[in-house]
A and B are shown apart, each in its own frame.
Chain A
Amino acid sequence: VSVSLTDIRNTVGNVPMEWYRDFPHIGYNLDGKKIYKPIRNKDELDDFLDKMDNPDYWRTVPDKQTGSDVVLSDEQVQLVNRLQRGQFGDANFNEYEPQVEFFSRDVMLHPVTNRPADKRSFIPSLIEKEKVSKLVHAIKMGWIKPRRVEDDSRGRYYDLWANEDSSILARHKMHLPAPKIPLPGHQESYNPPPEYLFTDEERALWEQQDPCDRKLPFVPRKFSSLRQVPAFSRFIHERFERCLDLYLCPRQRKMRVNVNPEDLIPKLPKPKDLQPFPTTQSLVYRGHSGLVRSISVSPSGQWLASGSDDGSVRFWEVCSSRCLKTVQVGGAVKSVAWNPNPSVCLLAVALDSVVLILSPSLADRQVVLSSERLLSAPQEADANEGAGPVTWSETEGEELNHGIRLKIQHPKAVQQVSWHAKGDYVASVMPDHSSNLQVLIHQLSRRRSQNPFRKNKGLVQCVSFHPVRPYFFVGTQRSVRIYNLVKQEMTKKLQANSKWISSMAVHPGGDHVICGSYDCRLSWFDLDLSTKPYKMLRHHKKAVRGVAYHRLYPLFASASDDGTVIVCHGTVYNDLLQNPLIVPVKVLRGHEITHDLGVLDVTFHPTQPWVFSSGADATIRLFT
């Protein structure tokens, strides 16, 4: 706005305008002369005419300071309008300019303030510390009493049910109110739709059924109007039944137990807690050319004897897998058994229909001497010895050089030999369906044999002596019979649920027996528990050929036609209350399946947690 000399704005001074009311002038010009008010002698009429005619009337404004009328220009009018509307005066002003971000999230090169943070922003506040210490002092001096926390728990609430009888409480909890009567539906209507009425068959069915079986206790009837509805005949009956329901009918909550099926499975210990047990194959004893049917470890644990279908018995050194001795016996060997008496070194071999007693010279001189003494002929010669079913004979010449000492000739093929724990008696099995001469017990020192059984009770598969007591276990096809040798009678008959028992082993403690059968099952019998198996293990896929217990460690193993040996942990507890704990622990693989036969025999080392297994692939493997 340019200031011209004639249009100086403030000619008045900073005084209120009513001081000039009575004067003819208003303001002064630069020279000091009075500026006279413009003549305004417009009366109402002129004013009205002015209003009508003057096109600029609406924007004419009297200026207080100069007294004249000012005609506003368009921009000024626009300015006034904007101000009246509450907008910014300047039309060009854009109040929505983008803000200059003064503080932004972008990290600028130079910060707004580079003032380092005060230490007081990191450490506990000093002002608060002062306040707190003042309060503490006040509390100590007793000026302020701290508010005690109210202990609401005691005394505020009275336990209503504290002294209540628990049986009453239980009854209250168990209370189930009678269910509400269902609201009447279409059946109960006095004019039901025709489909709710009974047809003749439904009617007949309804009458036939027992009252308690019926779905509806009444027959739906149809009446054309409410007036015609008769009195309900069963009214009292219905009410009475409801009352009986309410106060006489016992109801009980059905306790549904939410059982997690996994909780029912007993928690067995993990195998790695049950170490030591054999885990890997360590040695392979190669040398046989036919399938190895039977193996036996010496009581000292140094030697392993094996018999095979190629007609030889081999002696191996356990720790080096070297075959030290081979004895050709001239027939497929079905079973070998080492004498468990540690002061004697003898091996019983069953082949064809002969049982041979071998004396391998693998031991100390003293031991060999006592073996010889055991084998030497008895002084007294009984006359009726020759007439028995078996004949004893000593060997000479070539056979003697090999170590074979005695031959016991049987009438039929011998399947298995088994020693008594003391080492004097040996039992041999000749399976035959029809005869009663299936089991023979021989005494080495007196060279006597006897048949303990008179009747034939089934095809005998395997026999075993009890390790401690005078019992004799005979395993037939379906059951295991336990005989007391002293009383000469049968004490127990264990029924396995298997079709064909193949092998049997007795626990060294003498109270448990395991049987393996050709239908892939292994049954553990607890003799103190019952004659039925305590546990049946079905770990194998094919027939179980051999089972064995460890003498010292709580382990047992089973060998099967699927080429595996499964070692399980079986702890037996001394107290009669706890059942044995059976945990399968390792599957040992290594044998190859030859001609559908896998592992044929399994036995444990007497002192170390090692297991030997012999298979149809003509090898014996040691797992440690």
Chain B
Amino acid sequence: MSQLQARFFTEDKRYIVDDVPFSIPAGSEVQDLSNVINKLLEANNASHSKVEFDFLVRGQFLRTSLSIHMDTEGSYDKTARIWSVEGKAVMTVAGHTDVVKDVAWVKRDGLTSLLLTASLDQTLLLWEWNSERNKLKARHCCRGHTGSVDAVATDPTGSKFCSGSWDKMLKIWSAVPTDEADEVEEPADRPRKKQKTQQLGLTRTPLMTLSGHNEAVSSVLWCDSEEVCSASWDHTIRVWDVETGGMKTALTGSKVFNCISYSPLCRRLASGSTDRHIRLWDPRTKDGSLVLLSLTSHTGWVTAVKWAPSHEHQLVSGSLDNLVKLWDTRSCKAPLYDLAAHEDKVFCVDWTESGLMLSGGADNKLYSYRYSACQTDAGA
């Protein structure tokens, strides 16, 4: 088990601890860190009572989707950061020439992990991260989009990934890092760019391009290893077959879709739009558009939704009204919880493997929440 160095800062005078680096096991969670802080405070002040802490991290402007267990975030400072669960920036992934819009894990093993970053500079970078030695190396630079890449998702097997961009296309790429460069036509009048690609890894071209959307693609995900689902600004959600490259079904809505999330447990697709509703769809329906359920409680655009990986009825959503809401689909009138921690717009939410919820927003903060499962039924 590797150890990490962490420093704790707070502005609350009651809870100040010494500003020295502490060595914390990498697998610690919020609870463990809380215990550490409490122990430190007890050592200082005998009458200190145990308090649950939340840990915050700071970075530049945050706008991304988060992955599980070890968290990465992309941000508008053109870097992506890898965070540990306890909230320390472990690694900064710098390499894009422009804003990073989306990140995704390909696989996270004990030793090496692969992650992807998608950016406004129309490329995707595939990185290999060695968590032991804390070294990061760009393996591939995926070129092919003619607009900023807004969304990326890896398939369940970890061998392919799909990206969606403002040029209305979806492209499927291979996620396995190889050593030889793919064939690519290099335009002759850009010698400068050629050097850069070598620093950023070998160029890779897409395996397949899926076209059909009339407007920018805002979000992609994999339903299973042969189906890709994409949501776009042309008010449709399309399900594509990766084998043939053709579109299977299209679900039509009336507003721009900001984000989608699929749950294999209940086989439902949740979408957030530029109106304040979260809609649940069944991607298997053959007809045009059938909204199964509509969850309304936000007062602004819903920018992020995510199903719980372990619970088939729970999902968390973030919106431009600074709130993160936890929903149970069995009680659709109101959310279970309203998590009001952000002071500005929320752009991304996610779940960790251990059951934590995370949210990042325009106030440069990344918050994590713990939901202890109650025995009572959701009756909100």
Count B-side interface residues using an 8 Å CB cutoff: 26
The reply to whether A283 and B216 contact each other, CB–CB distance below 8 Å, is no
Q: Which B residue sits closest to A366, measured CB to CB?
A: B146
Q: Given that A282-B274, A283-B320, A366-B146 are known contacts, is A322 also in contact with B61, CB under 8 Å in the complex? A: yes
The reply to whether A302 and B216 contact each other, CB–CB distance below 8 Å, is yes
The reply to whether B76 and A322 contact each other, CB–CB distance below 8 Å, is yes
**CB 8 Å contact bits of B142-173 with A (1 = contact, 0 = none):** 00001110000000000000000011000000
Q: Given that A364-B122, A624-B274 are known contacts, is A607 also in contact with B233, CB under 8 Å in the complex? A: yes
Chain B 253-284 interface residues, beta-carbon cutoff 8 Å to A:
254-256, 258, 274-275
Task: Determine the chain A residues whose CB is within 8 A of the CB of B105 once the complex forms.
Answer: none
Q: Confirm or deny: A300 has a beta carbon within 8 angstroms of a beta carbon on chain B.
A: yes
Q: Confirm or deny: B126 has a beta carbon within 8 angstroms of a beta carbon on chain A.
A: no
Q: Which A residue sits closest to B148, measured CB to CB?
A: A302
The reply to whether B215 and A364 contact each other, CB–CB distance below 8 Å, is no
Q: Given that A282-B320, A322-B76, A324-B99 are known contacts, is A276 also in contact with B61, CB under 8 Å in the complex? A: no
The reply to whether B256 and A364 contact each other, CB–CB distance below 8 Å, is no
**CB 8 Å contact bits of A348-369 with B (1 = contact, 0 = none):** 0000000000000001111100
Q: Confirm or deny: B307 has a beta carbon within 8 angstroms of a beta carbon on chain A.
A: no
Q: How far is the CA of A609 from the CA of B262 in the complex (A)?
A: 28
The reply to whether B254 and A276 contact each other, CB–CB distance below 8 Å, is yes
Task: Determine the chain B residues whose CB is within 8 A of the CB of A608 once the complex forms.
Answer: 233, 256
Task: Determine the chain B residues whose CB is within 8 A of the CB of A302 once the complex forms.
Answer: 147-148, 166, 216
Q: Which A residue sits closest to B190, measured CB to CB?
A: A365
Give the residue of B99, B147, B362 whose beta carbon is less than 8 angstroms from that of A364.
B147
Q: Given that A282-B320, A300-B166, A608-B233 are known contacts, is A320 also in contact with B147, CB under 8 Å in the complex? A: no
**CB 8 Å contact bits of A272-296 with B (1 = contact, 0 = none):** 0000100000110000000000000
| B96 CB to nearest chain A CB (Å) | 14
| B87 CB to nearest chain A CB (Å) | 24
Q: Confirm or deny: B347 has a beta carbon within 8 angstroms of a beta carbon on chain A.
A: yes
Task: Determine the chain A residues whose CB is within 8 A of the CB of B256 once the complex forms.
Answer: 608
Q: Confirm or deny: B301 has a beta carbon within 8 angstroms of a beta carbon on chain A.
A: yes
Q: How far is the CA of A608 from the CA of B320 in the complex (A)?
A: 19
Q: How far is the CA of A319 from the CA of B301 in the complex (A)?
A: 10
Q: Given that A282-B300, A364-B122 are known contacts, is A322 also in contact with B215, CB under 8 Å in the complex? A: no
The reply to whether B274 and A364 contact each other, CB–CB distance below 8 Å, is no
Task: Determine the chain A residues whose CB is within 8 A of the CB of B345 once the complex forms.
Answer: 320-321
| A151 CB to nearest chain B CB (Å) | 56
Q: Given that A364-B167, A608-B256 are known contacts, is A300 also in contact with B274, CB under 8 Å in the complex? A: no
Q: How far is the CA of A427 from the CA of B187 in the complex (A)?
A: 35
The reply to whether B146 and A364 contact each other, CB–CB distance below 8 Å, is yes
Chain B 329-380 interface residues, beta-carbon cutoff 8 Å to A:
345, 347, 362
Give the residue of B167, B215, B255, B362 whose beta carbon is less than 8 angstroms from that of A607.
B215
Task: Determine the chain B residues whose CB is within 8 A of the CB of A321 once the complex forms.
Answer: 345, 362
Q: How far is the CA of A607 from the CA of B274 in the complex (A)?
A: 14
Q: How far is the CA of A276 from the CA of B253 in the complex (A)?
A: 12
| A550 CB to nearest chain B CB (Å) | 15
Task: Determine the chain A residues whose CB is within 8 A of the CB of B301 once the complex forms.
Answer: 282-283, 624
B: which residues have CB within 8 A of A? Answer: 61, 63, 76, 99, 122, 146-148, 166-167, 215-216, 218, 233, 254-256, 258, 274-275, 300-301, 320, 345, 347, 362
Known: A321-B362, A364-B146, A607-B233. 13 other contacts (CB 8 A): A282-B300, A300-B216, A301-B233, A319-B218, A320-B63, A320-B347, A322-B362, A324-B76, A364-B147, A365-B122, A367-B146, A607-B215, A624-B301
Query: Can you sample 24 A-B contacts with CB below 8 Å?
Result: A276-B254, A282-B274, A282-B300, A282-B320, A300-B166, A300-B216, A301-B233, A302-B166, A319-B218, A319-B258, A320-B63, A320-B345, A320-B362, A324-B76, A324-B99, A363-B147, A364-B147, A364-B167, A365-B122, A366-B146, A607-B233, A608-B233, A608-B256, A624-B275
